[in-house]
């Protein structure tokens, strides 16, 4: 093995370890920035040695060109459906039938939450991920290998030892509730059709032909079953789940072994209560006989196994009166209808409003003002009207026929090509401006303390602020005239605005509110660029080649920089003193102890954060790596250094304590 091969292998192993800690165990040991630095280092090393790139590298989760279509694949072992039961009485019948079939023997069961996602089969050879196939019709499914590769909870290389040469595991891919809510909010903002529930969002994502788009959606996955590894794990399903966890899979959480029907019923009551607080959607429990020998005796029907059953929870929905329909305006001008309801208690909270998504949805469901409607929480988060109880109509209900005018500014609203929503195109629309200002001022953007919703309302209503850049033209005399804005609070806001000018370019880029550009994407776009203006000259093709940037984001960025009014606003912001250029340290003109040296940081330093130490080393001409190898010149060891220190001692690498590190820095 060459020196470069060894380096790349060590770095991949380190990244895989941190992926597992973050995505599977939910116990990260390094910051997102440090992880990104490791990924960037690996990308650079693989770019320099393309012959060493392998399909299981962490850099290869996102594929290259979009697929033309999905290949149909036959399942070696059919993915059979599971029979459903909806009451404790039916669950008792299942148990009694099982005991009779086992000649009176009481089986032990494994009880697992039934994740409401998309069923998938993962295939591994030699411990390496090779294929993912959807359930399809149970006998044939779609090969979605490239898309599933983007899910960080899916190990590309298995951990530990003892796994068979060929392995198939099955589970559910799902979209976390908060991610689902954020995606639907974004789609409404963009005038796109919203997803009905997290499962539909997951299924729709897996059908995308471009894995770069899939990678932008936060899918996750639980594994719940191995296929044909009984001899390896000693038979019991419960032992198999433990072993799958040791091999690096994210096993379905909260599973337990129940030794009686009463234990199962107690678990069902517990899960029915706590399911509302989970990060994922679950619609029931799966109860499986634990012993495979008993499973063989029980057998299967033509449709489903007799040794497993799904216990479905009662749907969370409520009936109430729809009193009115009001329209709102989003940050990008999308007009969104909202139902005003008679208050009703649903899934732990009182619901007074519900999303109606768009005008087409109202017409399709024939929703009328005064109707009795059924409301449920999509993903247990967003209340929505799912259907009308037309049989309750009295004839006094009113058909919704809105004027095609913006409810905020009165401008005509239009429906742009390929969009389902209507949009107000008036850039001076007060509601749009209010929301853009709220986005601009938030803590993760420009962090303008004191610029809250109430103050923004007054600034817009009095036309003191008509654009983002107008914020930086505000004067003390403008502010003190406003309600609840005394001398001190006015000066505090001006000071906060002044401080915000120093926010780095990636924060400003996010704050601008470009469609599809969140805080992380903004950071990715600014990597290696001197100024925000550098983005102006890039085309869709060039932007799409950036890791984590797909064609949708690329097109949105290009569209933003192609509009003259946006460029003018950027020039006004730059003239106001906001930071458009990255801070670039002066090039070190003389030799330092770190010039040309590779340094690894480990443990906790008292005088420096990890980021500060890294920046100081780079300023003095050094390079900070994420793992120790023969190429490493120094290891800087703080308290609790971990395995990097041991590796340094094994390889004879010079180790610096914090005092020695500070001396070499001249600090």
Residue 592 token pair: 């330092």
The DSSP code for 587 is P
Task: Count CB atoms within 10 A of the CB of residue 65.
Answer: 9
Residues in CB range of 650: below 8 A, 6 or more apart: none
114 is an active site residue? yes
Do 509 and 532 contact (CB within 8 A), yes or no? yes
- Residue indicated by tokens 């086992």: 102
43 burial via Cβ count (<10 Å: 0-12, 13-18, 19+): middle
Find the catalytic residue in 114, 250, 377, 614. 114
The residues, any chain, with a CB within 8 Å of residue 467's CB and separated by 6 or more, are 433, 569, 572
SS3 category, 119: strand
Structure tokens at 412: 């005509």
Kindly report the three-state secondary structure assignment for every residue of 595-632: CCCEEEEECECCCCCHHHHHHHHHHCCCEEECCCCCCC
SS (H, E, C) 324-367: EEEEEECCCCEEEEEEEEEEEEECCEEEEEEECCCHHHHHHHCC
DSSP assigned state of 534: G
Closest CA to 485 of 497, 447, 494: 494
Phi, psi of 355 (to 5 degrees): -75, 140
Q: In what order do the strands lie in the sheet with 256-258?
A: 84-85, 308-312, 282-289, 109-115, 256-258
Alpha carbon distances (Å) from 165 to 123, 156, 233, 522: 11, 15, 14, 42
Helices 551-562, 564-575: axis angle to 10 degrees equals 80
Task: Note whether 520 and 532 are within 8 A (CB).
Answer: no
- Specify whether the CB–CB gap between 654 and 635 falls below 8 A: yes
Q: Which residues contact 555 (CB under 8 A, 6 or more apart)?
A: 540
- Report, in angstroms and rounded to the nearest whole number, the Rg of the chain calculated over CA atoms: 29
Region of 395 please: left (phi>0), alpha (psi -120 to 50) or beta: left
Residues taking part in catalysis? 114
């Amino acid at each position: 093995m060459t020196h470069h091969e060894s380096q790349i292998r060590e770095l991949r192993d380190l990244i895989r370890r941190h992926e597992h800690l973050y995505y599977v165990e939910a116990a990260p040991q390094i910051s997102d920035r440090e992880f990104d630095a490791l990924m960037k280092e690996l990308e650079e090393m693989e770019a320099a040695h393309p012959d060493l790139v392998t399909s299981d590298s962490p850099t290869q989760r996102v594929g290259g060109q979009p697929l033309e279509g999905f290949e149909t694949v036959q399942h070696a072992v059919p993915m059979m459906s599971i029979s459903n039961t909806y009451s404790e009485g039916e669950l008792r019948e299942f148990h009694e039938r099982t005991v009779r079939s086992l000649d009176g023997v009481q089986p032990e069961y494994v009880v697992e939450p039934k994740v409401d996602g998309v069923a998938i089969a993962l295939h591994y050879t030699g411990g390496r991920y090779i294929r993912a196939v959807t359930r399809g019709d149970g006998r044939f499914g779609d090969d979605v290998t490239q898309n599933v590769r983007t899910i960080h909870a899916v190990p590309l290389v298995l951990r530990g030892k003892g796994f068979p040469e060929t392995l198939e595991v099955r589970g559910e891919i799902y979209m976390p509730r908060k991610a689902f809510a954020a995606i639907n909010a974004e789609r409404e903002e963009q005038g796109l059709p919203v997803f009905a529930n997290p499962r539909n969002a997951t299924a729709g994502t897996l059908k995308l032909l471009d894995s770069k788009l899939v990678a932008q959606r936060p899918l996750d996955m639980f594994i719940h079953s191995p296929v044909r590894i009984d001899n390896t794990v000693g038979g019991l399903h419960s032992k198999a789940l433990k072993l799958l966890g040791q091999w690096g899979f994210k096993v379905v959480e909260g599973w337990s072994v129940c030794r009686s029907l009463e234990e199962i019923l107690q678990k069902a009551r517990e899960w029915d209560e706590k399911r509302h607080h989970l990060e994922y959607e679950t619609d029931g429990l799966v109860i499986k006989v634990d012993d495979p020998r008993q499973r063989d005796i029980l057998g299967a029907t033509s449709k489903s196994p007799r040794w497993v059953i799904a216990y479905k929870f009662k749907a969370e929905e409520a009936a109430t009166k729809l009193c009115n329909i009001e329209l709102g305006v989003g940050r990008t001008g999308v007009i969104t209808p909202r139902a005003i309801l008679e208050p009703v208690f649903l899934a732990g909270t009182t619901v007074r409003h519900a999303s109606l998504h768009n005008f087409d949805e109202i017409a399709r469901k024939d929703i009328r003002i005064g109707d009795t409607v059924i409301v449920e929480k999509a993903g247990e988060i967003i209340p929505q009207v799912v259907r009308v109880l037309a049989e309750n109509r009295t004839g006094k209900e009113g058909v919704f026929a809105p004027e095609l005018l913006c409810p905020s500014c009165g401008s005509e609203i239009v429906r742009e090509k390929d969009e389902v929503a209507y949009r107000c195109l008036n850039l001076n629309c007060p509601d749009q401006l209010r929301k853009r200002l709220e986005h601009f001022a938030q803590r993760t953007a420009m962090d303008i303390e004191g610029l809250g919703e109430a103050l923004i309302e007054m600034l817009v209503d009095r036309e003191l602020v008509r654009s983002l850049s107008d914020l930086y033209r505000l004067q003390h005399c403008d502010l003190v005239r406003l309600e609840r804005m005394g001398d001190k609070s006015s000066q505090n806001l001006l000071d906060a605005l002044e401080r915000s000018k120093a926010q780095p370019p990636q924060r400003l880029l996010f704050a601008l509110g470009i469609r599809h550009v969140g805080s992380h994407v903004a950071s990715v776009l600014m990597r290696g660029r001197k100024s925000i203006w550098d983005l102006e000259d890039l085309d869709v093709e060039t932007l799409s080649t950036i890791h984590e940037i797909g064609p949708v984001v690329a097109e949105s960025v290009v569209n933003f920089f192609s509009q003259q009014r946006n460029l003018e606003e950027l020039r006004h912001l730059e003239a106001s003193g906001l930071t458009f250029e990255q801070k670039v340290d002066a090039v070190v003109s003389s030799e330092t102890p770190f010039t040309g040296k590779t340094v690894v940081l480990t443990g906790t330093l008292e005088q420096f954060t990890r980021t500060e130490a890294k920046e100081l080393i780079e300023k003095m001409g050094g390079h900070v790596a994420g793992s120790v190898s023969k190429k490493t010149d120094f290891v800087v060891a703080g308290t609790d250094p971990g395995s990097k220190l041991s590796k340094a001692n094994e390889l004879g690498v010079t180790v610096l304590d914090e005092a020695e590190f500070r001396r070499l820095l001249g600090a």
